[in-house]
Amino acid sequence: DTGVSQDPRHKITKRGQNVTFRCDPISEHNRLYWYRQTLGQGPEFLTYFQNEAQLEKSRLLSDRFSAERPKGSFSTLEIQRTEQGDSAMYLCASSPRRTQTYNEQFFGPGTRLTVL
């Protein structure tokens, strides 16, 4: 399967701990997005990478959050000093190099984070 993959699928942690999630986009896609989805809500944009450059960050991305895409391939999202309000589904999406006005995003299955 060559879709977007995310690891882990589920993470349970205690408040105050650090967690890291990984996203592997579709191999030829140079654009990568992170979204957060809380219960009963639609996904909300967190951040965007074009190749290895992080070009946009939402104000939702507090200083406890950091994302990287070191070689323009996989990406990691780290949350430091987790809080119960961080409990959510974290979704990754990728899209190909822009060849037309807009390119479709392909979503991974998500990582569900529960902070106790």
Partner 1 sequence: AQSVTQPDIHITVSEGASLELRCNYSYGATPYLFWYVQSPGQGLQLLLKYFSGDTLVQGIKGFEAEFKRSQSSFNLRKPSVHWSDAAEYFCAVGYGSGNTGKLIFGQGTTLQVKP
Enumerate binding residues for partner 1 (CB under 8 A): 4, 31, 33, 35, 40-45, 48, 50, 55-56, 91, 93, 95, 98, 100-110
DSSP codes, 63-91: TTEEEE-TTSS-EEEEESS--GGG-EEEE
Minimum CB distance to partner 1 smaller for 82 or for 95:
95
39, burial (CB in 10 Å: exposed 0-12, middle 13-18, buried 19+): exposed
Minimum CB distance to partner 1 smaller for 11 or for 31:
31
Token duo for residue 83 = 């809080």
Minimum CB distance to partner 1 smaller for 81 or for 98:
98
Minimum CB distance to partner 1 smaller for 16 or for 77:
77
Closest distance of CB 17 from partner 1, Å: 24
Closest CA to 103 of 90, 91, 89, 93: 93
Closest distance of CB 42 from partner 1, Å: 3
DSSP codes, 34-69: EEEE-TTS--EEEEEEETTEEEEE-TTS-TTEEEE-
Closest distance of CB 39 from partner 1, Å: 11
Closest distance of CB 86 from partner 1, Å: 19
